Amino acid sequence: MKGLRSVGILGTGSYTPERVLSNFDLEKMVDTTDEWIVSRTGIRERRICSEEQASSDLAFEAAKRALKKANISAEQLDMIIVATVTPDMSFPSTACLLQDKLGATKAAAMDLSAACTGFLYGITTATQFIANGMYKYVLVVGVETLSKITNYKDRNTCVLFGDGSGAAVLGQVKDGYGFQSFELGADGSGGSLLCQPAGGSRIPASVESIENNLHYLSMAGGEVFKFAVRVMNSATEAVLSKAGVARDEIDLLVPHQANKRIIDSAVQRFGLSEEKVVINLDRYGNMSSASIPVALDEAIEAGRVKEGDNVILVGFGGGLTWGATLLKWCTTPAEGSDE
Ligand code: UT7
């Protein structure tokens, strides 16, 4: 971005709850099989939070780890953005609850609602504040406790989703590194394909809304699948072309973890070998806004990212929404940016 500061990810962190819900556990709950789930989605197990845990608790754990790796204290944060469709409550925002838990007293705080694309919308927003010099450090968290809005009697959805959180601290990096291009999009006409119908101002909570299961997540899986394949490829193409990077220069693709078959379509399209794609949905299922930051954090921990690598993050989901970014990887803060 010409005339603006270069912005990158200084540190990441992730947290997933201890409790594992396997496909074999689900076989005892609904009419499904491990074979069906693995062959249609690639998922083998997912993590489920405890009854006491809410999204801000998961976010807190991931945020602490990200701050530690970025070597930034909570007091240094200028802003906190939490992307979630499962906030602790409608308001105050989960970001405000997290701000208090962290003691990030200087930070502005807000939630952002873009479903599975939330983390990408969040880092794109955060980047603007740092690039123009208004803020130095912004914490972006993708967190979901989807188990709280999943109907464990509905085999169409309950095998897919899990709980978790991933966080990133964004700041100025050396010139030319960090985020090279962004692509965000939305098609509100597809909103009803993936939604939680009740609990807002359209259908407030009532005995009737609960009896009709309207507080649970609902999804037209097949329609969303076709949309996902289309936008994952087009958004990836868009960030490559905006950054002037060729397909064979991609070092790592970190896609939203909804379905292995969706990821495979992008892998084929871009001719990527296995080691260039991060996949962890077998262990976590679809954690919506947390999927990408958890996958990125695990890739970094596994030593799969090195300075100068072209890393693509790409996602899609409810809204409908989609987004992607291309980073020239660098976690070293820009010289003088600490002054
Ligand atoms: O993160 C947000 C974005 N979300 C996504 O990207 C999800 C996109 N969609 C998907 O991943 C897939 O559409 C699903 C995994 C949800 C479904 O896979 P599919 O291959 O599209 O299956 P289908 O919906 O066409 O269903 C095929 C059959 C149906 O039976 P009938 O009607 O043909 O008799 C379903 O009832 O599979 C049945 N089915 C199941 N069978 C066993 C659906 N869920 C299950 C299940 N176990 N858990």
Considering the candidates 23, 280, 286, 310, report the single residue annotated as catalytic.
286
**Å from CA of 267 to ligand 1 middle:** 21
User: pLDDT of 126-159, one tens digit each?
Assistant: 999 999 999 999 999 999 999 999 999 999 999 9
Spatial CA neighbour of 300 closest among 113, 169, 116? 169
Share of the chain above pLDDT 90, in %: 96
Task: Report residue 243's pLDDT band, with 50, 70 and 90 as the boundaries.
Answer: very high
The preferred substitution site among 225, 260, 264, 265 for testing ligand 1, maximizing ligand atoms within 8 Å of CB, is 225
Q: Which residue has the higher pLDDT, 104 or 274?
A: 104
Residue 337: predicted pLDDT: 64
Residue 125: predicted pLDDT: 98
User: pLDDT of 279-306, one tens digit each?
Assistant: 999 999 999 999 999 999 999 999 999 9
Residue 1: predicted pLDDT: 53
Distance CA 84, CA 53 (A): 15
Share of the chain above pLDDT 70, in %: 98
Query: pTM here?
Result: 0.97
Do 7-178 and 180-328 show the same overall fold? yes
User: pLDDT of 78-106, one tens digit each?
Assistant: 999 999 999 999 999 999 999 999 999 99
Which ligand 1 atom lies nearest to the CA of residue 256? Answer: 1
The preferred substitution site among 156, 217, 322 for testing ligand 1, maximizing ligand atoms within 8 Å of CB, is 156
The CATH class, in words, for 7-178 is alpha beta
Instruction: Establish how many alpha carbons lie within 13 A of residue 149's alpha carbon, considering only the half-sphere containing its beta carbon.
Output: 26
Residue 332: predicted pLDDT: 86
Contact 288, 296 (CB under 8 A): no
The whole-angstrom distance between residue 18's C-alpha and the CA centroid of its chain comes to: 19
Residue 334: predicted pLDDT: 84
| Residues belonging to the chain | 339
Mean of pLDDT over the chain: 96
Report the CATH architecture of 180-328. 3-Layer(aba) Sandwich (3.40)
116 is a catalytic site residue: yes
Q: How many CB atoms lie within 10 A of CB 205?
A: 12
Q: Which residue has the higher pLDDT, 70 or 338?
A: 70
Residue 333: predicted pLDDT: 86
Q: Give yes or no for residue 210 having a pLDDT over 70.
A: yes
- Residue 48 bridge partners (DSSP): 19
Sorted by where each begins, the domain ranges of the chain are: 7-178, 180-328
Residues with CB under 6 A from ligand 1: 32, 36-37, 40-41, 116, 155-156, 159, 194, 221-222, 224-225, 228, 258-259, 262, 286, 288, 317
Which ligand 1 atom lies nearest to the CA of residue 317? Answer: 2
